[in-house]
Amino acid sequence: MTGTVTFIGLGTMGQPMVRSLARSVPVAVFDVDPDAIDAVVRNEGVTALAGPVDGAEGDVVILMLPNSAIVERVLGDPEDAESLAGRLRPGTLVVDMGSSAPLATQRMAARLRERHVAMIDAPVSGGPRKAATAELTIMVGGPAEDYERALPLLRAMGSSVTHVGPSGSAHALKALNNLLSAIGLVGALEVLTAGTKFGLDPRTMLDVINRSTGRNQSTEVKIGPEVLDGRFQVGFSLPLTVKDITTALELSASMGLSLEVSEACVQFCRAALADLGEKNPDQSEMARYLAKATGVDLTG
């Protein structure tokens, strides 16, 4: 694909994604944090925008923002000629790569479509490490022709790109994936806590579990280095975890589903966030909350 690309949102994920993208196409960037802009404009092919509305010149506008409320605030009202959405030219493609609420995504996509502006949702999985190596898993929701148009750009940032359905589908899948991931992490922490209380060594437990049917991504990747070794640096914050899994639970409730295990996990994660009392604790720090509640410390 040819043309210009605007990228808005240079957080933990956005910065390495821009670096990967800039290897194949010029990118104009914006973030509310000037330091974040400075960190990426040092790379060849990256230029800074004075403000988000200046991004309307891009043929493709990529958003990597924390939630739907911020996406809507950055885009603005499509009927407002002074907003970013109002300035987008017909034929522009908007790609929301954050973890937005699927129903909000559907509403915004419909409003933009009235102005002949396309929008797809393309959230990612893999964390900062996979973003740095352009090995993200990217799921895409929206019309097939818009998916095909965005595919070369998405492949510059991810090693797995899958069209999963119509508008909002990818944001739904991302929220549900993160809910399952959280269930796996919380469940593994509780199992290790019970075993440690019994007298088992948590490292021995983890080694055996990872050769058994109970293994999951948290046991294989997160818990050893980030919890048992006490680093607590998974790279995905607990507030964002709570936001995403709440989105998944709200989506389920909107369809009349009551999911007991999911509800218990969300309740646990919310309690951990309230107890930790830090500005932006890492997801893995739920182990500290569990240690405080049970008297069993897995670190050491």
- Residues with a known catalytic role: 174
Q: CA 271, CA 281: separation in Å to the nearest integer? A: 13
3-state secondary structure of 123: coil
Contact 238, 268 (CB under 8 A): no
Using alpha carbons, select from 27, 103, 17 the residue that is nearest to residue 61.
27
* Residue carrying structure tokens 């999963």: 164
158 DSSP β-pair partners? 136
The number of angstroms, rounded, from the C-alpha of 190 to the middle of its chain's C-alpha atoms is 25
Contact 122, 111 (CB under 8 A): no
20 phi and psi angles, rounded to 5 deg: -65, -45
Q: CA 168, CA 68: separation in Å to the nearest integer? A: 12
